[in-house]
Chain A
Amino acid sequence: GDSVTQMEGPVTLSEEAFLTINCTYTATGYPSLFWYVQYPGEGLQLLLKATKADDKGSNKGFEATYRKETTSFHLEKGSVQVSDSAVYFCALSDQGFGNEKLTFGTGTRLTIIP
């Protein structure tokens, strides 16, 4: 079945550091890929997405490129801020099922220190 493997956390960085959170996936079809963010006490918010190979999703300075050859969708940001502290989830949706269920990784907790 479908699965998502994320870089283990927690990750602690200083403000303005470069961020990479690794994500790889296994899927039978041609999934869409997502990064969701969960701030303390809140639900999930979609950060960015990519629906086909070589697509790059971007939002709020975060980027991720859909790499079919390496089955990866790594999240990057050039200069992190304290406000980026949250839990980040990589997810996929295999549209072939028709019900569009999301399969999530276990999440990576990111803490940014001033």
Chain B
Amino acid sequence: ETGVTQSPTHLIKTRGQQVTLRCSSQSGHNTVSWYQQALGQGPQFIFQYYREEENGRGNFPPRFSGLQFPNYSSELNVNALELDDSALYLCASSLKRGEGPNTEAFFGQGTRLTVV
């Protein structure tokens, strides 16, 4: 059973650029959530994907967007990068069964994004 893997581990971008972060969910999981963790803060929910559609969104602007693929992996895209987007981006996967609650979320090690 493979865990949640994220790539790349570190990334440096210039303000105004675009970035794509990738996440492979744990085997058997069908739901992926993305979180932003600024330095010294707790993770903040960005959005969740289930059945290749956005299934809930936190207080983030539209320049944060995502995709989920048929194999349940996911991408987080951020356009027009700002200095405040510098953070650790965490991906978490879980299993959603019908209308019931999700199973435990397993987190990847994160992608450290630095915007200069």
Residues of chain B touching chain A, judged by Cβ–Cβ distance below 8 Å, are 4, 31, 33, 35, 40-45, 48, 50, 55-56, 58, 90, 92, 94, 96, 99, 101-102, 104-110
Chain A residues within an 8 Å CB radius of B31: 100
CB distance from A98 to the nearest CB of B (A): 7
Chain B residues within an 8 Å CB radius of A43: 4, 90, 107-110
- Which of under 10, 10 to 19, 20 to 34, or 35 or more describes the interface residues of A? 20 to 34
Bound-complex Cα distance A49 to B104 (A): 10
CB distance from A13 to the nearest CB of B (A): 20
Q: Which of A93-114 contact B (CB under 8 A)?
A: 95, 97-107
Chain B residues within an 8 Å CB radius of A4: 42
Flag whether A46 is at the interface (Cβ < 8 A): yes
Interchain CB contact under 8 A, B42 and A106: yes
Chain A residues within an 8 Å CB radius of B106: 46
Flag whether A61 is at the interface (Cβ < 8 A): no
CB distance from A9 to the nearest CB of B (A): 10
List 10 A-B pairs, minimum CB-CB distance, nearest first.
Answer: A99-B56, A104-B42, A43-B107, A44-B107, A101-B45, A100-B102, A43-B109, A106-B42, A99-B48, A104-B43
Residues of chain A touching chain B, judged by Cβ–Cβ distance below 8 Å, are 4, 6, 32, 36, 41-46, 49, 89, 91, 95, 97-107
Interchain CB contact under 8 A, A99 and B107: no
Interchain CB contact under 8 A, B45 and A107: no
Ordered by A's residue number, 16 sampled pairs between the chains whose C-beta atoms are within 8 Å are A43-B4, A43-B90, A44-B43, A44-B92, A46-B105, A91-B42, A98-B56, A99-B55, A99-B56, A100-B96, A100-B101, A101-B48, A101-B58, A102-B43, A106-B40, A107-B40
